[in-house]
Structure 1
């Protein structure tokens, strides 16, 4: 199998082709560093989008070997989940997903800011709610420690998969480079060129207040999605100490949106996903009064 890293959308698209009989699993996919992340992503998609179940606890009582075979999930269980977590892999996945859901709730444990600490604390809560309290039931202590070890090992696997993803992103656009065109006191610009020195786009950076603003315009010949590699190269090129303060406006055939680097997860997020209507209002505009016609 090609060792190219698959993001969530790509692995879900692959699963749907396997599930409907249009493809088989590529050789080596379940021995890749990202295998565990793929497995969890596919199962989460299957539970919520294919089966329409509301949660993992609901799935816990419905999953059976026949259903797994029918939906082409048996290979994932046999090659990834059972070797990683044992025969009670489903119980662990239920606890894990409830832990992740709780850890991502901004209103829960606001004093914990480190992501791994939040997941571990949420695990303690989820285990007690779904399985039981090891303090009240000492017989659960062995299961608790085993599940907690699973959690830490899985976290390590996810970190490794993330490293693979970052490497894939760097490799995807390795033929693209930035060549400075102009440099002024408050603005700079670059041309995006490939290995043959063909110009494939322009980048302009405005060093304004309250934060820098970067405009990226890409040629149609650049592959869809490679704009993220351009952003990555910009962050390396200009040595931005706080990447999260820069807004990137991206044009590729059409306006794709404005993005920023999230300091919590390291991913690029759409600015408009975070801004409410009031936040997007131009300066000087006001909320309409109830009496306005």
Structure 2
């Protein structure tokens, strides 16, 4: 199958303009290290009609600054050092095998944001449809080069990044197999700082790259607005309960909201149409009933393709 230059593939799914919006439920570490919770979140995403769920994968000793290892903090599992906490919420191969099997059973894809090169090697043990670069990792050239070498589609979030940093990351990754996501990396993000028009800015700057949206706001309206502005990929954090312990829970969508979000994304994308103004057959009856003056173009011509060049002079209205 041959796809247009603006199309990327995530597994067996084409993603880009003209294709259904690819909706991802970002589980991240909202499972709090509990496999049963992760499987329940997968179920919630599948029930809502999401195309995929996403996790985060870290090697704690690599991703945690050494001076933070022994800092103690209170957690739901008691007081522990930060490095022990990072291990407590990190899934290993057994858990991801269970995730992989459960996603296959539910007919939903999964992938992850690796935060280090060891995590890339770990995820390559699975047939994930893509890799995601978290906004915090956009400046990690070594990670970007490792991800490019996998040959998989790379989804790049652009939060907390300057235009020059984004341009450099695109140059490192190459533009042929990436998808860019506009994002604001505040949890939760205020509406005044979402700046959704950057979706158009990125499209103009990278005309051969599909543009998506990774949202960290509360509420659903702004994500729907991102779709209306042309986002072909949408990611939102999901949770079973926003009151659960964890830094990302408050900026996440609960199962009921996720169902409404996916439903409304499908309505919005259907309503966008193709941009070609036409008279629909369903309008002919109201036209005959309500239009008293036929106008310059006769009713019989209303469904035609439109005048050919030079057929008639433009009509001022």
Is TM more than 0.5 here?
no
**Which structure shows the bigger proportion of residues in helix conformation?**
1
Q: How does the TM-score come out when normalised to structure 2? A: 0.24
Higher relative contact order (CA 8 A, sep 6+): 2
Q: How does the TM-score come out when normalised to structure 1? A: 0.25
